Amino acid sequence: MKIKDFLHIVDIMEAMKCNTRHSWLSDGRRESVAEHSWCLAAMAYFVKDEFPEADISRVIMMCIFHDIGEAFTGDIPAFLKTDSDENREEDKVAAFLKTLPGVYQEELTELFNEMHELKTPEAKIYKALDKMEAVIQHNEADISTWLPLEYDLQLNYGEKEVEFSEYMLELKKAVNEKTIEKIDESSK
């Protein structure tokens, strides 16, 4: 890859570090898009024994790149994101992919298509973990950072995405138990 192209990509990755998400961290600051993606990739690595049929390296790639569109659009919380926002982000990703040198363009275009279709075990694992990371991070943050709608959203977010796997269903159940504990503690 030409140095100029490489440095352009690094600039975009840096935007992922600068753009913050709706989520807060346990230390009281907002989480960046890059921090979310990094945590998600680490989560994928640590579930590889639960999914021996899956190519976890591919799942990790999905986790790393899934929010690249937010380098261009910023984060829009799921409960506010419209179809128009989704389309704009997809257009930005498609435009970015077209700027990549041959093999990178081909590989990442295929990866984004796979993530969008959600038919492979790898795409399903990535998507379930993406939802669970958001809920887990909310549980890590101080409850004072939660919006009123998030009390219910915490318990429902990702339900559909975890249905494909007994392990993911158990994870959702455990995360929901932590959510309920957190809510109960805050009302004392």
Q: 141 Cβ partners below 8 Å, 6+ apart?
A: 23, 24, 25, 26
123 with 114: CB under 8 angstroms?
yes
Phi, psi of 53 (to 5 degrees): -80, -15
The predicted pLDDT at position 25 comes to 95
24 vs 20: CA distance, rounded Å: 9
Mean residue pLDDT of the chain comes to 95
Residue with the larger pLDDT of the pair 93 and 1: 93
> What domains can you pick out in the chain, each with its CATH number?
3-186 (1.10.3210.10)
In this predicted structure, what is the pLDDT of residue 14?
Answer: 95
Say what the pLDDT of residue 92 is. 95
Confidence of residue 187 (pLDDT cuts 50, 70, 90): confident
In the predicted structure, residue 188 carries a pLDDT above the cut 90: no
Q: Could you report the per-residue pLDDT of 37-93, keeping only the tens digit for each?
A: 999 999 999 999 999 999 999 999 999 999 999 999 999 988 899 999 999 999 999
110-131 average pLDDT score: 98
Q: What is the pLDDT of residues 12-28, one digit of tens each?
A: 999 999 999 999 999 99
Instruction: Look at residue 93 in the predicted model and tell me its pLDDT.
Output: 96
Question: What contacts 42, CB < 8 A, 6 or more positions away?
Answer: none
pLDDT digits (tens, 9 = 90+) for 138-170: 999 999 999 999 999 999 999 999 999 999 999
Query: Residue 164 is encoded by which pair of tokens?
Result: 């494909």
**Secondary structure tally for the chain: helices H, strands E:** 10, 2
- pTM of the entire predicted model: 0.94
pLDDT at 133: 97
Which pLDDT belongs to residue 128? Answer: 98
Average pLDDT over residues 96-105: 94
